[in-house]
Structures are given as C-alpha cells and as structure tokens.
C-alpha cells in the first residue's frame, strides 16, 4: 500500500513538473508576437512563430472575451472553457507573451521595506541535494508555484482590511461546487485545488487573475514556510511530548513508557485541562522560519530552499518573506514580478538563478601561520 501511494505521488509530481513542456519550448524559440494583433485572427497570427506544441498550449489558454448586458467586454471564461484538455496556463500564459488578454500588466514601484508584500502558495515536490559553484553540498526542499494566481482582492472599502486570496494547482471541473465555480469564473482563472488568504499592504495589492511566479522572490533571501505536518497517528507521551518515562529496571512492572500520575492527590483530585497525555500526533500547522532560497528555476517555477519544509510531498505550503528579516540581497520586485514579453531580447529571466555565493572558496584550507 505504501509503495503504491508513493508511486502515485511520484507520477503526480512528474506530471506537475513536466506540464509546461510546450510553454518552455515556446520560450526557447524566442518567437516575437506582432504588435496590434487583436481578435481570433490576431491571436492566430501571433502564434505562428511558436512550435506546434507551444502553439496548441497557448491557443487553448487564450480565452475569448464575452459581452455583458451593458455591452462591455467581460474577459471571464465560460464553464465550457474549463473542459479537460484546456490550457492549464490560464490567462497568464497568453499575457506573458504579449498575446490575448491577461492582467499581467503591472506598474513596477519603488520598494519600501515597511510595506508588506504578498506571499505565495506552492506545492512541496520533495527533497534533494544540490552543489553550488564551490562544490559545497546543500540539502534543499523543492517548492513549485503551480499556476499561483490571484482569485479575490479584499480592500478596506469592501471588507475592512486589505488582503489577497490566492489559488494554486489545477482542479477538475466536475469536482468544483457551484459557489466555487462562480468564484473562479468571475476571477477568470482555472479551478484551483487550494485557496489561501494573505494580508498585504494597500500598496501591494495585485489585480484579479495575476499570476505570481518564482521570481516574485529573490535568490538569497530568507522566507517563512508554513504547512501542515505529517500525521503520526496515536502516540504515547514519550514520543509525542518527549517524556523521560519510568525506570526500565527494578520496581517498574511493564510500565517503563507510561507517563505516570496525572491527577495528583485529593487536592485538586482532578486532571488539569491541557495536560500533556498520549493522543494523536501530527497534522498541526507548523511554520519553519528563516529558510534561505538557494536557487530558482523560472521556467518550471521552482524554488530551492535550504532546509526542511513541513508536510507530505504533493502538499501545499505558504511561502512569505521572513518576518524576522528577509535579508534581501537586492531589492525585491514590488508589488510583484512581471515577465517580459517575447521579442524584447531578454532571455536572462529564463535561466536558473543562484544566490550570491561569495568570492572565497569555503573549502580552502588556510594556514594559520
């Protein structure tokens, strides 16, 4: 049973990582999209420079606008656009390459350390080891921002506070109830597997449908990762709370791992609430602070953070700037990163980004004489 579950998880993760092969091929082709293209003919002409696989992915992700009752254009997709086989890139894929629609146009502003940026939702892919340019081995956890998009924006005027509701992952249309389906339809995004809310400053609000990418963060900065820990089942006091237990020699009869007395004597003669006792262990909300981002993969939207991350492989976690100090090597993109359109000749955003590693070899032996 365990091997079958692991095999299914690996297949799911492999599908998630390789789901954008057509999109990556389009990036590598460096094809430019003509300016001024509009409508179906413009979209068809804009996709002529891409390989066939990428052309199909981009054409399926470009959703036609519908006219509302007042005659205005509504970019929200119909439920037929959510059929299986549709583009997983949503509105973001067409917008990045300057194609049809997509709220990816965002005005960059000057970074202010006192402003609270939005975090991101990511899927835990697994753990591995990587080596930097000096040959130093680093244990890392791989996180993927799988189509992390803004589903709802809350403002002070409407909700009394400012926050962003983000969604991540792809969800089958048949498994979406009607309230959620209407929520996703109005946002113009594909149905999401996980929704979470992030409190932000008013200056850091993002438009609905905006896709957060791996470059929303800076390689070398510190982040806090919050998730649900693995379930351990019913455990005793020694494993659950680290109790010492009783003597395992004389005077103890078959109770070396028992917790001992819990209710004292006649006064108070009861067990206090919150007493640490055997019970279910795990499945708790856990936050690991000050994890360093060693590397980023912009093509597959991957973050390589040094250290462990709570939860199972395939689970979802919250990634935010470290509350104790993110220690940015350079100013982060504010309010978020926007990919450059194809044809600008800038391919640096498609390469793996490492954190600053210094100019001195950390493994070099220095004589103290």
pLDDT the model gives residue 344: 56
Distance CA(176)–CA(83), nearest Å, equals 12
Structural domain includes residue 43: yes
Average pLDDT over residues 22-48: 41
Assess if residue 29 is contained within a domain: yes
- Give the chain's mean pLDDT: 77
User: How far is residue 43's CA from residue 98's CA, in Å, rounded to a whole number?
Assistant: 10
| Residue-level pLDDT at 338 | 87
Residue-level pLDDT at 366: 75
CA distance 325 to 113: 10
Higher-confidence residue of 34 and 226: namely: 226
Count of domains forming the chain: 1
pTM over 0.75: no
Q: Taking the chain, what is the end-to-end CA distance rounded to the nearest angstrom?
A: 60
64-73, 248-257, 310-319: segment of lowest average pLDDT: 64-73
Per-residue pLDDT tens over the stretch 167-183: 999 999 999 999 999 98
Residue 366 lies in a domain: no
Q: Is residue 256 part of a domain?
A: no
What radius of gyration, in Å, describes the C-alpha atoms of the chain? 25
CA 27 to chain centre: 22
Q: Token pair for residue 71?
A: 């005659």
pLDDT of residue 93: 34
CATH code (residue 72) = 2.40.30.10
Residue 367 lies in a domain: no
219-229 pLDDT, tens digit per residue, is 999 999 999 99
- Are 287 and 308 a contacting pair, CB within 8 Å? no
Q: Distances in Å between the alpha carbon of 199 and those of 43, 93, 102?
A: 37, 26, 24
Please state whether beta strands 137-144 and 302-306 pair in parallel, antiparallel, or not at all (unpaired): antiparallel
Query: Does residue 344 sit within a domain?
Result: yes
In the prediction, which pLDDT does 275 show? Answer: 94
Task: Write the secondary structure of the chain as one string of H (helix), E (strand) and C (coil).
Answer: CHHHHHHHHHHHHHHHHCCCHHHHHHHHHCCCCCCCCCHHHHHHHHCCCCCHHHHHHHHHHCCCCEECCCCCEECCCCHHHHCCCCCCCHHHHHHHCCCCCCCCCCCCCCCCCCCCCCCEEEEEEEEEEEECCCCCEEEEEEEECCCEEEEEEECHHHHCCCEEEEEECCCCHHHCCHHHHHHHHHHCCCCCCEEEEEECCHHHCCCCCCEECHHHCCCCCEEEEEEECCCCEEECHHHHHCCCCCCCCCCCCCCCCCCCCCCCECCECCCCCCCCCCEEECCCEEEEEEEEEEEEECCCCEEEEECCCCCCCCCEEEEEECCCCCCCCCCCCCCCCCCCCCCCCCCHHHCCEECCCCCCCCCCCCCCC
Name the band, by pLDDT with cuts 50, 70 and 90, for residue 32.
very low
Region 317-328 average pLDDT: 95
pLDDT-derived band at 76, boundaries 50, 70, 90: very low
250 or 37: whose pLDDT is higher? Answer: 250
Over 90: is that where the pLDDT of 301 sits? yes
Indicate if the pLDDT at residue 26 is higher than 50. Answer: no
Q: Is the pLDDT of residue 35 over 50?
A: no
Evaluate if residue 159 carries a pLDDT over 70: yes
**Is the separation of the CB atoms in 308 and 288 below 8 Å?**
yes
Q: Residue count of the chain, please give it.
A: 369
Geometric angle at alpha carbon 61, from 59 and 64, rounded to 5°: 80
Q: What is the mean pLDDT of residues 17-27?
A: 42
Instruction: Report the share of the chain in percent with pLDDT over 90.
Output: 54
Query: What is the residue range of 167's domain?
Result: 2-231+282-354
For residues 209 and 205, what is the distance between their CA atoms, to the nearest angstrom?
12
Q: What is the mean pLDDT of residues 186-199?
A: 94
Placement of tokens 């850091």 in the chain: 204
| pLDDT at residue 351 is higher than 50 | yes
What confidence score (pLDDT) does residue 8 get?
44
Q: For residues 152 and 254, which has the higher predicted lDDT (pLDDT)? A: 152
**36-40, 190-194, 338-342, 343-347, range with greatest mean pLDDT:** 190-194
- CB of 243 within 8 A of CB of 237? yes
Alpha-carbon span 162 to 202, nearest angstrom: 6
In a domain, 363, yes or no: no
Region 122-148: mean pLDDT is: 95
Q: Which residue has the higher pLDDT, 306 or 345?
A: 306
- Residue 368 within a domain: no
Q: What is the pLDDT of residues 258-297, one digit of tens each?
A: 998 888 888 888 899 999 999 999 999 999 999 999 999 9
């Amino acid at each position: 049973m365990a091997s079958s579950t692991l095999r299914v998880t690996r297949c799911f993760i492999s599908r998630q990582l390789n789901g954008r092969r057509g999109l990556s091929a389009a990036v590598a082709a460096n094809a430019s999209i003509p300016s001024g293209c509009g409508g179906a003919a413009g979209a068809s002409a804009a996709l002529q420079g891409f390989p066939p696989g990428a052309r199909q992915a981009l054409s399926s992700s470009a959703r036609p606008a519908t006219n509302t009752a007042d005659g205005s254009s509504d970019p929200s997709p119909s439920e037929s656009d959510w059929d299986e086989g549709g583009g997983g890139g949503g509105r973001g894929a067409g917008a990045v390459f300057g194609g049809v629609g997509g709220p990816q146009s965002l005005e960059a502003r000057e970074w202010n350390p006192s402003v609270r940026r939005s975090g991101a939702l990511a899927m835990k892919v697994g753990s591995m080891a990587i080596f930097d340019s000096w040959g130093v081995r680093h244990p890392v956890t791989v996180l993927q921002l799988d189509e992390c998009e803004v589903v709802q924006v809350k403002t002070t005027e409407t909700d009394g506070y400012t926050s962003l509701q983000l969604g991540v992952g792809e969800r089958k249309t048949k498994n979406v109830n009607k309230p959620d389906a209407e929520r996703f339809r109005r946002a113009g995004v594909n149905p999401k597997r996980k929704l979470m809310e992030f409190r932000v400053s008013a200056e850091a609000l993002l438009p609905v449908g905006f896709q957060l990418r791996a470059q929303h963060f800076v390689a070398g900065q510190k982040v806090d990762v919050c998730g649900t820990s693995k379930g351990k089942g019913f455990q005793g006091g020694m494993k659950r709370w680290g109790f010492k237990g009783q003597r395992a020699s004389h005077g103890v009869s078959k109770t070396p791992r028992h917790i001992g007395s819990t209710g004292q004597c006649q006064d108070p003669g009861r067990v206090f609430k919150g007493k640490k006792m055997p019970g279910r262990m795990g499945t708790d909300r856990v936050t690991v602070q000050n994890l360093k981002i060693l590397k980023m993969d912009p093509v597959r939207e991957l973050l390589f953070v040094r250290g462990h991350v709570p939860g199972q492989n395939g689970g979802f976690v919250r990634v935010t700037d470290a509350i104790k100090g993110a220690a940015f090597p350079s100013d982060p993109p504010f309010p978020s990163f926007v990919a450059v359109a194809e044809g600008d000749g800038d391919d640096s955003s498609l390469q793996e980004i490492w954190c600053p590693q210094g100019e001195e070899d950390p493994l070099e032996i220095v004589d103290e004489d």
